[in-house]
């Protein structure tokens, strides 16, 4: 199950990267210098599909990462925290 979860996370990451790269840049800065190259590739405007796909893939990645953290958690290993609290220890008498 763990390896399947990692493969699904990897696929979602690749798809998210591809969807983000396909979108037309909306801001200025370095993106303004490459506007001609974007128009040559046929990218006219960002469609609603690409925006929704970005949000859905981001949400899926978030949920999958939380699930992987729960699945691969270190519940069986010692995390360095003692189970005893100071109130449970015997008082020091002199």
Asked whether residue 8 is assigned to any structural domain, the reply reads yes
Asked whether residue 28 is assigned to any structural domain, the reply reads no
Ordered DSSP codes for 32-67: GGGHHHHHHTT-----HHHHHHHHHHHHHHHHHHHH
Q: Average pLDDT over the chain, rounded to whole?
A: 73
Domain limits for position 59: 1-13+46-69
- Among 16-20, 48-52, 57-61, 67-71, top mean pLDDT goes to 57-61
Calculate mean pLDDT across residues 62-91: 71
Number of domains in the chain: 1
């Amino acid at each position: 199950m763990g390896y399947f979860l990692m493969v699904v996370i990897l696929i979602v990451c690749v798809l998210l990267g591809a969807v983000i790269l396909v979108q037309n840049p909306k801001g200025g800065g370095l993106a303004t210098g490459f506007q001609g190259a974007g128009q040559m590739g046929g990218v006219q405007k960002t469609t609603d599909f690409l925006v929704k796909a970005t949000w859905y893939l981001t949400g899926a990645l978030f949920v999958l990462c939380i699930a992987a953290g729960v699945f691969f958690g270190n519940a069986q290993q010692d995390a360095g925290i003692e189970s005893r609290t100071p109130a449970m220890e015997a008082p020091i008498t002199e």
